[in-house]
Amino acid sequence: MNELKNLKPGMFSNLKDDVPASLVVFLVAMPLCLGIALASGAPLFSGIIAGIVGGIIVGVLSGSQLGVSGPAAGLAVIVLTAIQDLGAFDIFLMAVVVGGVIQLVLGFLKAGIIGYYFPSSVIKGMLAGIGIIIFLKQIPHAFGYDKDYEGNLAFNQADGHNTFSELFYMLDAISIGAVIITTICLAILILWERPFMKAKKFTKIIQGPLVAVLVAIVLGVVLNNSAYALKPDQMVSIPVADSISGFFGQFTFPDFTQITNPAIYITGITLAVVASLETLLCLEATDKLDPYKRVSPANLELKAQGIGNIVSGLIGGLPVTQVIVRSSTNIQSGGKTKLSAIIHGFLLILSAMLIPSLLNMIPLASLAAILFLVGYKLAKPSLFKEMYAAGKEYFIPFMVTILGIVFTDLLMGIGLGMVVAIFYILYKNYQKPYLLDVTEGPNGKVIRLELSEDVTFLNKANILKTLDQMPNNTKVIIDASRCVEIEHDVNEIIEDFVEGAKYRDIEVEVINRRLKGLGENPVKTFERTLAVASHKGGKAPIQVI
């Protein structure tokens, strides 16, 4: 996957990589689609519809080569509350359509640029935090405790438990059969990662996760006749229609009579804003994980998501976003182009239509093993070492983002990381408003204060302290020639220093140019202020260049 020469131009030129990856993404996406629908208080099939739309519709329209879209766990609480407040699922679907229209408009307004303002330390923290959450959330399922399989990334879960309390409840419900399947599947996955296995040609086509799932199905059948048999809630469970017409009967249409309901638009705006933010963050994170370092067009992604949500709402699906769990699974499984996401969408609809009974034979423990590996790769120890070596201004926002995601939820964790990252940016700006150079001149020390391009009120205290500490009987050169803008507060400090210089026997030279923020004619402003200052009794004029 990491060899750049293996990427061939054209969407259909990498089928040998994209098809196996799409199978793995499909296997991970299926239970997540169902779990998120369950957590959202929506019909289970609405999660499958959203996965199909996210794969096929968004996959075709998106410019992201490795991103995978579908129902998002981050929207589950919003969806649950909205369905309850609006009173019916078909009314909620109308809000999904409205949300999609708003996203489409945001795309045309080029709002995708927002995603580029998130620091890399926060994006990397988001990836590592999600990796840790994926790992922690799958531990109960690996041991057979599957009462709440919803794929929720939030610390507090819909059933009243949280990430860590779930681990304690797990201890009272350990299933030997699930542990056996998890262990064997993990062994297969680790074996497939070894260099000697990667060197074999068949491993390029037959991915380890697919082998693990097939072995898990066989083990589930074998264990079914023993004391270690798995329970129904330890298996994938998708709705089984008795006919093709029954399958299409599971699609739902929105209640168009509610088009004038103001609550529809409030919910639509909420869905559009949160879904767009999650999509842009995931888009940025997916591009960072892309081994080929391709850059996805953010505005096109918003348009694709908007159309996807319009379609999903019209046929009975949950709102969709680009989602990091499936996207990272796609990357780790060797996906090369958007075809893997598109094929995963077709697999969802074909399997739900034709082989739902076979899918219901997949133990959730095998999927937990797959997600263990995905989580580990997102939060490798080497990433923590790399961020620590980069310095505290990168490491601390990185860690705050991780802890915020683990102990709250995705958006709150990112928000906390952003606050800390911005603090460090402001702090660095405060620390470095100028360069200070001291040399020996013919008449004593010459201190040169070279101001940076932008000098704001944040630099006020530092510049004031520096000028106040200038020694008497020296020459001070204030070089503002590189400045693009000096705020009025800083200008006043410089003027006051020049005014007081004559009482300290300080010769002042100001190198200036016409600047924004200093009035219509800043040179005259300086000249007017500096004309009153003098050197040693007021005889020598202060120079303005």
pLDDT score recorded for residue 148: 59
Alpha carbon distances (Å) from 106 to 275, 303, 314, 417:
12, 8, 20, 25
pLDDT in tens, 197-230: 878 878 777 778 889 989 999 999 999 888 899 9
Mean pLDDT of 272-290: 91
Q: How high is the pLDDT of residue 311?
A: 97
Domain at 433-544, CATH homologous superfamily: STAS domain (3.30.750.24)
> Under the phi-then-psi rule, with left for phi > 0, alpha for psi from -120 to 50, and beta for the rest, what region is 110?
left
Residues 6 or more apart whose Cβ sits within 8 Å of residue 347: 22, 23, 26
Q: Which of 109-118, 188-197, 397-406 has the highest mean pLDDT?
A: 397-406
pLDDT on residue 184: 96
Integer Cα distance of 178 and 228 in angstroms:
8
Tokens of 155: 């610390």
Q: Which of 42-51, 122-131, 403-412 has the highest mean pLDDT?
A: 42-51
* Helix/strand/coil for 165: helix
The answer, yes or no, to whether residue 524 has pLDDT greater than 70, is no
pLDDT band at 401 (very low <50, low <70, confident <90, very high): very high
In the chain, the amino acid numbered 50 is A
> Which segment of 212-216, 233-237, 250-254, 360-364 scores lowest on mean pLDDT?
233-237
CA distance 348 to 51: 7
Min mean pLDDT across 16-25, 56-65, 401-410, 516-525 is at 516-525
Q: 């750049």: which residue's tokens? A: 4
User: Using CA atoms, how far apart are residues 378 and 505, in angstroms rounded to an integer?
Assistant: 62
* Structure confidence at residue 39 as a pLDDT band (50, 70, 90): confident
H, E, C per residue of 213-261? HHHHHHHHHHHCCCCCCCCHHHECCCCCCCCHHHHHCCCCCCCHHHHHC
Token pair 């068949």 is at which residue? 202
Q: Residue 254 corresponds to which amino acid?
A: P
Average pLDDT of the chain?
84
Half-sphere exposure of 251 (CA within 13 A, CB side): 17
- The pLDDT, as a whole number, for residue 432 is 62
Secondary structure of residue 210 in the 3-state scheme: helix
pLDDT value of residue 4: 46
pLDDT at 109 over 90: yes
**Maximum alpha-carbon separation in the chain:** 106
- How high is the pLDDT of residue 158? 65
Closest CA to 119 of 417, 352, 531: 417
Beta carbons within 8 Å of 359's beta carbon, 6+ residues apart: 30, 236, 238, 351, 352
Q: How far apart are CA 89 and CA 91, in angstroms?
A: 5
Cα–Cα dist 82/321, whole Å = 17
Residue of higher predicted confidence among 157 and 15: 15
Rounded Cα distance between 23 and 333, Å, is 9
Nearest to 386 by CA among 132, 133, 131, 128: 128
Q: What is the pLDDT of residues 421-465, one digit of tens each?
A: 988 877 776 666 667 777 777 777 888 888 877 777 777 777 888
Gap between the Cα atoms of 484 and 470, Å rounded: 25
Rounded to whole angstroms, the Cα distance separating 217 from 366 reads: 9
State the pLDDT at residue 410. Answer: 79
Report percent pLDDT > 90 for the chain: 38
Query: What mean pLDDT do residues 492-513 have?
Result: 84
Residue 12 CB neighbours (<10 A): 9
Buried b (16+ CB within 10 A) or exposed e, 237-249: bbeebeeeeebee
Residue ranges of the chain that CATH labels 3.30.750.24: 433-544
